[in-house]
Amino acid sequence: MQQDINLTGKQKRYLRGLGSTIDPVIQIGKGGVVPGIIKQADDALEARELVKARVLNNCLEDTKQVAGVLSRETGAALVQVIGHTFLMYRPSSGNPGIELP
C-alpha cells in the first residue's frame, strides 16, 4: 500500500509511550489476518495513526507473525510486540496528528 516507514529508536520509544495509554481497537481471532481485519486496521490507522491490536487466544497464528503480516499489508511500521498485543504506526495521509521527535 504505502512505502515502508523507518523509525529511529527515539521515535519508537516516543510511540511506545503514547501507546501505553491506549486500548486495543483491533482483535484478531481464529480467522487470523483476513481482508476484513486488514480493512479495519487500515481505517483505524488513517483515523488514529497509532493503533494497538490484540491477538486472541483462539488465533492459530503466532502474535509476531500476525503483527508482521498486518503491518506489511497496511503499510504501517510495527512499533512493539508484547505478549498478545502489538502496536502499529502510520501517519495519516489527510490529517497527520502525531509529530515524531
Q: What is the 3-state secondary structure (H, E, C) of the chain?
A: CCCCCCCCHHHHHHHHHHHCCCCCCEEECCCCCCHHHHHHHHHHHHHHCEEEEEECCCCCCCHHHHHHHHHHHHCCEEEEEECCEEEEECCCCCCCCCCCC
pLDDT tens-digit readout, 40-93: 999 999 999 999 999 999 999 999 999 999 999 999 999 999 999 999 999 988
- C-alpha 90/C-alpha 31 separation (Å) is 24
CATH number at residue 23: 3.30.110.60
- Domain housing 18: 9-89
Count of the separate structural domains present in the chain: 1
Residue 72 lies in a domain: yes
Q: Which pTM value belongs to this model? A: 0.90
Residue 1 lies in a domain: no
pLDDT for 30 equals: 92
pLDDT for 1 equals: 43
| Average pLDDT of span 23-31 | 95
Name the residue with cell 506489511.
72
